[in-house]
Structure 1
Amino acid sequence: MSQFELLSRYGPRMLEGLLITIELVAISVTLGALIAVPVALARLSASRMLRALALGYSFFFRGTPLLAQLFLVYYGSGEFRSFFESIGLWWLFRDAFFCALLTFTLNTGAYQSEILRGAIRAVPRGQSEAAMSLGMKPRWIMLRVVLPQALVIGLRPLGNEVILMIKGSAVAAIITVFDLMGATRLAFARSFDITVYLYAAVLYLVLVETLRRLWDILERRLTRHVVRAAP
């Protein structure tokens, strides 16, 4: 089979898989960000119980392989099928895509929470003290003063986390999610042509480089005042 025939036969399926990869990563990163904010605040809380719970969540998902977490969710949920059926959630755990989405969300949420926690700590204390002198309540100081600055500080490591999720999402193919890697494995199983993996690598590279450039533009726009203030 010529390379033209190979691309014409399997190229469209690989492009569909690329869209599934983008969808999977975009949704999981967005939901992970929603988890990261309360977890990061819990890590900084004065409550020992909240700190312990947040630390346990972060410790587990940052300290174990993503593939092991995926297997625990996808295969482990079958052990509790009757329970999930009784509460009406089995439709979620019986679907490989949703299992991958849940796993990726919990995984990236743990990493994003640590990034955000570090960024919050990096915001100068004088910002909070100035807001307190104006009579602002602590929660509004956090929401309106500290968090916006922390997001700017953490923008670069957050971008790196998204890139790592794009590359890590390839493990979803192992549980039959036909993302880019899943479609590539199928193409190789039918064609036995190793170059399909080269094409997949190129697509991943294009996706990551495109995101990196867009992230650079976003970072420059959000930090333009910092750049101008630099000597």
Structure 2
Amino acid sequence: MILETLHHSVQTVFANKMRLVKALLIPFIVTYCLRSLKVSMAGSELYEEVLVFVLNITIFLVSSIICMRTQQILDSYGTDDTRFSRWQGISFDAQQRRYTAYLFLCFGLLNAIWAVFQIDYEWVNNGVLYSLLLALGVAGWIIFSRLSFVLPAIAAGKSASFKDALILTKHKKLYAFVIAGLLPVAFYMLFIGLPIFMLFANPKFAMSLKFIYVFIWGVIVIAIPFIIAAIEGTAYRELMGNSEATELTSIE
């Protein structure tokens, strides 16, 4: 089912390529410019914590637009919905604000989970306690993967909540964990962790291709949220069993 979801994700993305370009090109460009500005300021006097914080929040907000629009377009695949057949800029309607709020809560939970995984063993000074904290981290990660399915539900126009997301994934916990918990980590390790490793492994070669390297890496970084949103949006439709899903609150 997981491989089938990945296949359907790729298939649906390519089938909607023009609508995706029209809806996402401007947010992608804005995100890339913001990230480039953030990188260019590193090590300079302008690299102030407050400014970096503002840039991070702005990048997060624009990325939420990318994620929601991706899931909206994929959810409307095969319908006569033409809302996404035109060029679109940056805008936050009520649905987008709600989506962003839930995304922010998921992001906060994810950061809390990572904080647990990064606890210093010597600080804990107790193997049992440390193991318990790691077990709580894994449990939190599983819960996070299930809760994240509220996002494509909101993008699809449902009056969904975290409770509805838990109901939706009740009998597909492993599926939800792989799709929303493991795959994003795998993408980040492959497309971000591996290039960093290569940079340190052969810095001279990396510096000789600095411009190409930074450009491609920048594109990949902003594309990852799009990829994750596309896969999770497809998985949401698989879970609902129908591309025109009924209200989540009707699920038993």
Query: Structure 1-normalised TM-score?
Result: 0.30
> Which one has the bigger helix percentage?
1
Q: Whose radius of gyration is greater, 1 or 2? A: 1
Tell me the TM-score normalised to structure 2 length. Answer: 0.28
